Amino acid sequence: MKKIFLLSFIICFFIACSDNKQDSDDNASIDSQANLEQGDDVDFNIQLIDGNSIFVKKNDGKITFDNDKATLFVFFTTWCTPCIAEIPHLNKLQEKYKDDFNIVGVLLEDKSDEEIKAFKEKNKIIYEIANGENNYLLAKILGGVDGIPTMFLYDKNSQLINEYLGLIPEEMLEIDIQKAIS
């Protein structure tokens, strides 16, 4: 029953930002860890395409990251038009606040690191991108992703500042980033 629910969730998720041109082959498989219950404790790494990783831990309902900077997790796919449209704004914010702030694009699609590196180069993305099955686990423990783009902003102490669904004006993000880094 849980597998049917998760499959339904993934199908609905990809329809949220779909122009119906996307093949079902792009739907990524879900890691077996994604079947966690709401209160379960877990720790894992999300893998960045540059070879680094971010350690994520959920313990007693508190989520922590091994970052020393405020972080914006941006859940996206390569075929989502709004996701692509926000890249220049995210690049600008990453560059402006690079000393105190990180953006991590979290891919929710089954692509190789080479494909994502080509996408990153084509779209001139300057922030990090996470790729792998644990991206789905991250989405689950952060409370779920109901559509894309979805973003979660955390301060350097792993405290949630805000979450966003859809395209968000750069100015609004900047105000919240300033709160997260202060």
Average pLDDT on 160-168 reads: 94
User: Does the pLDDT at position 107 exceed 60?
Assistant: yes
H or E element, residue 39? none
Cα 12 to its chain centre, rounded Å, is: 17
- C-alpha distances in Å from residue 174, one per residue of 34, 64, 153: 32, 23, 11
Percent of the chain with pLDDT over 70: 79
pTM of the prediction? 0.79
What pLDDT is attached to residue 109?
94
Cα–Cα distance, 162 to 176 (Å, whole number): 7
Confidence band (pLDDT; 50, 70, 90) for 40? confident
Q: Which of 57-61, 71-75, 81-85, 141-145 has the lowest mean pLDDT?
A: 57-61
> Domains of the chain, with CATH numbers?
2-19+45-181 (3.40.30.10)
User: Does the pLDDT at position 19 exceed 80?
Assistant: no
- Measured in residues, the chain has a length of 182
Average pLDDT on 45-63 reads: 91
User: Does the pLDDT at position 65 exceed 90?
Assistant: no
Q: Is 113 exposed, middle or buried (0-12, 13-18, 19+ CB in 10 A)?
A: middle
What pLDDT is attached to residue 24?
33
Cα–Cα distance, 75 to 67 (Å, whole number): 18
What pLDDT is attached to residue 17?
58
The residue with greater pLDDT, 8 or 178, is 178
How far from each other are the two terminal CA atoms of the chain, in whole angstroms? Answer: 45
